[in-house]
Structure 1
């Protein structure tokens, strides 16, 4: 049992009213980003998953069950989170967005990041691992030596990664237990690995160890800190130590409830799993024409689940140390997944769609004063996290953001005034999620371009009812159009 359990038994309250009084009393921020983590956790209702540390955190935190990212791919999703802004151009949908915006000198083009604002207001900021897009926060290509330019140059006092035997961040990101990586092996690798190693045999174990060391240093500083930790798994390749694979019986792992193409949907709304198929030694190639075999699908889900359990254990190590150092009494903890992932759902293996599978991800927030868990069903967008954290810490609201603070949802059991809508963008489409519906509009030639799903009767978005209910489309379309920030002409 992790000593993290003691954190919840003995932690004391930090009154909300004292937020922002004096700099030394402002709460710290521990922000944990997990790559490609869909809400497959015990606290989100998956009873098969072994996620004891995140479930324990959730038992004393607020679990947001309907949090949606703005873009279903790593770089732009994180850029949107860190700036609190919806995409405004096609560049904002590119994984190169941090590099693009770094080269823009005008403040109107390069908005202030969440981390930059905390730093400007007296916080000591440390990033470890993948917080922006690059695995170590520096700009360079997959096969290039590590660069010396930060993706967020004004944000970090320190930006760190222990790349271990892999040498560079990108090699570690695609690393295997023997020290090799997808880059050097020219994609002649499998999309999974059961490693005969301990937790330090993969990069996320080193990231947790580095974070534990850094917490010791931060505990001695006379200023609040913002510590961002970015874990790689369960991003491809689905690699984890064998002990996490051994937590599961592969035969008991269920297949997707959405094995086919959704009804009344054009194939252009989906994709052929190109990222997954880059792992060229996989036993089967994914495609929209037919699903993978049941046996291989279970093996891949087994690998994904093992990777989730591995990263859960690393998060537990960090939270243990937070408590041991007595920092938990004045630290806001945030765990966020940068987007979801299709595990064979709709015959897709990957993200990169504007379906629920790719857009919904975990969001768990623990404030020091909270001692009991709660779950919220309001629709939350990832752009709302930035203004929420600044409010909780007594900072001025960020300028020029599209997000709304949901700080009041952390305490009040009900709030009828909350605007329950989240917008997302990809594949030349805009989608809007409300408590009951998902409405999507694509700006393309292939028909149909309108998709409507009723989550009350169709929670897996298997049946597009737009043609059957034009009156609903007409009613909802003006709200969808509010989310078009200039990406597309509505006449297209």
Structure 2
């Protein structure tokens, strides 16, 4: 360190200026490095059907060390809600930044029907396209849009060359392995068969005597790791989307991940019964789950499955989570070994939740908490973004403007979402935070303390209200007994009414 007191009063002006310059250089070297001026890379990991069911959310029975570590070093969003509780429609809202405003937006075909045939425009088709417009190399691996591999074709059809998102990706990659096609891989069993090839004569779970690459998500992880190595010294920033299939049905994972659990210690649902004062049309008969016809028991609203079978299914779901978590760990290790972690923002997003026997339902497709709340974790390498837990209510449509702001990219259009960067930095959030979700001819609004759902149907009741301070498991609809509260909340609910039931043009 330079001692300024030793600079003689007789020193000439040049010597003093030189000494001060050296001192300032030394001092600047001791400062904490500032945020890079170069744009950050983005690693966006989509996990299919992952509700807020990892250790970081207080689920201490779940083995998810890699996601937990990312959450501990970044931002864990405690109250993230999707717009639609089904895969394709949820991803349409995420990618476009728009809440659904016509019926097709509630369908798994939303992206195919709305985007796959459109010519390229200055207005981007997705936020990924916006990154590409700004010079990012955009790489898609696995299921980011609805299609398992990014191409448009049916479950039992041969793959096409038609992209679901024609303008978003610089490069689209997938390794279908022995299953040959993306959709076969999506419903894969360890012997190379799939739900389609076996005509649904399958169980909804499997503990395969295979290594990680014995199921498709292991191949996806290997492909992503290989691509990260290629990007070690990029001449342009990258956006990499990596989509993992599990824990989507079938709940198939290598046996070693099943062995992480003692089934007898896996808790059953906290809310296994149908809520009081509702119409059964608010729920469903677990049709997707029951397609797996060799399951030991069928799920229905008239009767719960046995506790032993419920534990087996929950065991399978958790094993699938642990398997995906291990694949995410491979990506994190590669980021660190290549040094890419120093300038890469990591996002882990669950496309919706899942009822694990809650309200007697096995599946998504409802406007209840378990179907709408999902995992969201964002880890940024910049210190001001390291707020450990975020209680702000976040919608999936908010992710679009937030990622653009993190990368200092302007949006080309106004989206329905709003950036939550302030929440990541621990600053106060706006009042009246709400999340809107849509399904089954209904609209649901989540506030800090309440969920109000309004159904556009003839069957009563059409209003449901749940008070989470006294009923966190949504066991009783109190709308009929809370007229004044409903009247107070309805105007806020109506702000989220996009006219979807009337199929009106977007304003």
TM-score by length of 2: 0.91
Aligned residues: 472
Distance 1:270 1:108 in 2: 40
Q: 1:386 aligns with which of 370, 391, 400?
A: 400
Is this contact kept in 1: 2:392–2:433, CA < 8 A? yes
Give the SS at the match of 1:425. strand
- 1:103 and 1:126, CA in 2 relative to 1: closer, same or farther beyond 3 A? closer
1:54-65 matches, within 5 Å, as 54-65=67-78
Partners of 2:479 and 2:121 in 1: how far apart?
A: 38
RMSD of aligned residue pairs (Cα, Å): 1.8
Answering whether residue 92 of structure 2 is matched by residue 42 of structure 1, we say no
Tell me which residue corresponds to 2:355.
342
What's the CA shift for 1:460? 1.1
Moved over 3 A (4+): 12-16, 103-111, 370-373
Any residues of structure 2 matched to 1:14-413 within 5 Å, and which? Answer: 15-16=34-35, 18=36, 21=37, 25-102=38-115, 105=118, 112-370=125-383, 374-412=388-426
Partners of 1:199 and 1:205 within 8 A in 2: yes
CA distance in 2, matches of 1:409, 1:197: 42
Stretches of structure 1 lacking an aligned partner (at least 5 in a row): 1-11
Q: TM-score, normalised by structure 1?
A: 0.93
- Structure 2 CA distance for partners of 1:107 and 1:164, relative to 1, 3 Å: closer
Q: Is residue 2:488 matched to residue 1:475? A: yes
Partner Cα separation in structure 2 for residue 15 and residue 70 of structure 1:
36
CA gap 1:34/1:103 in 2 versus in 1, 3 angstroms: closer
How far the C-alpha of 1:489 sits from its partner, in A, is: 5.3
Q: Is the 8 A contact 1:30 1:226 kept in 2?
A: yes
Q: Which moved more, 1:181-190 or 1:371-380?
A: 371-380
Counterparts in 2 of 1:26 and 1:419: CA distance versus 1, 3 Å: farther
Partner SS state of residue 310, structure 1: helix
CA distance in 2 between counterparts of 1:260 and 1:147 reads 44
| Partner Cα separation in structure 2 for residue 456 and residue 462 of structure 1 | 12
SS in 2 for 1:30: strand
- Farther-moved stretch of structure 1 (100-109 vs 46-55): 100-109
Paired residues of 1:340 and 1:351 also in contact (CA < 8 A): yes
The more displaced of 419-428 and 336-345 is 419-428
Alignment CA distance shift 1:188-1:109 (3 Å): farther
Aligned to 1:433: 446
What SS class does the counterpart of residue 392 from structure 2 fall into?
A: coil
Q: Which residue of 2 aligns with 1:484?
A: 497
Shift of 1:103: 5.2
Contact 2:129/2:168 (<8 A) preserved: yes
Cα distance in 2, alignment partners of residues 426 and 108 from structure 1: 30
CA distance in 2, matches of 1:282, 1:478: 45
**Secondary structure in 1 matching 2:437:** strand
SS in 2 for 1:200: helix
- Give the superposition deviation at 1:220: 3.0
For the structure 1 residues 178 and 416, does the alpha-carbon distance in structure 2 shift closer, same or farther, using more than 3 Å as the test?
A: closer
Larger Rg: 2
Q: Distance in 2 between matches of 1:380 and 1:309?
A: 25
The answer on whether the counterparts of 1:62 and 1:373 sit within 8 Å (CA) in structure 2 is yes
SS in structure 2 of the partner of residue 193 of structure 1: strand
What runs of 5+ residues in structure 2 fail to find an aligned partner? 1-30
Following superposition, the deviation at residue 106 of structure 1 comes to 7.4
Q: 1:146 to 1:13 in 2, by over 3 A?
A: farther
SS in 2 for 1:79: helix
SS in 1 for 2:473: coil
Q: What is the CA distance between 1:177 and its match in structure 2?
A: 0.5
CA distance in 1, matches of 2:478, 2:234: 57
8 Å Cα contact 2:66/2:325 also seen in 1: yes
CA distance in structure 1 between the aligned counterparts of 2:352 and 2:148, rounded to whole angstroms: 16
Note closer, same or farther for the CA distance 1:323–1:211 as it changes in structure 2 (3 Å cut).
same
SS of the equivalent of 2:189 reads coil
Decide whether the 8 Å contact of 1:450 with 1:466 is kept in 2: yes
